[in-house]
Structure 1
Amino acid sequence: MSVFYKLLYYFQKRGFEVCRRISERLGMRTRVVRTTFIYLTFVTLGFGFALYLFIAFWLKIKDLIYTKRTSVFDL
């Protein structure tokens, strides 16, 4: 069971980052965005999951290009 919880924690920590960031940007609850992706995946037979992966990839690339600097002296 320990392996299951470690895997679950990993996906909750890393996998739901997309939904959290989208919900912060749109000013919505994270739970609503997650359930929307789940329903979209079932209704469109996988398009929601493909969209989720595309957004996750886009956010990762954006994070690599635009890094947040804590002060002016980090230049």
Structure 2
Amino acid sequence: MPHPVLNEDWSDYDDRKNKGGQDRSKVACTESWERDYIVRKLKKHYPKKSESEILQAVESCCKSISAPRPRDKFMDCVDSKLKG
């Protein structure tokens, strides 16, 4: 089952990825704006976690999943790190 964050509006993210010529369905992990966007999205779902804890989970998944990183697989990884 996909993480609920995937059902939210990602249009700002998608637009920025498209303008940069990147595949919007993939997480590149190469730009700080992308990591910050994901952290802000997840903060709503994990209000008791600090932004640095969420960022650590994001960065861990950036290292453990090879590019190209499908958004759904990436979010599953981050979710498992935050729940673990």
Higher relative contact order structure (alpha carbons within 8 Å, sequence separation ≥ 6): 2
Larger helix share, 1 or 2: 1
> Structure 2 length as normaliser, TM-score?
0.35
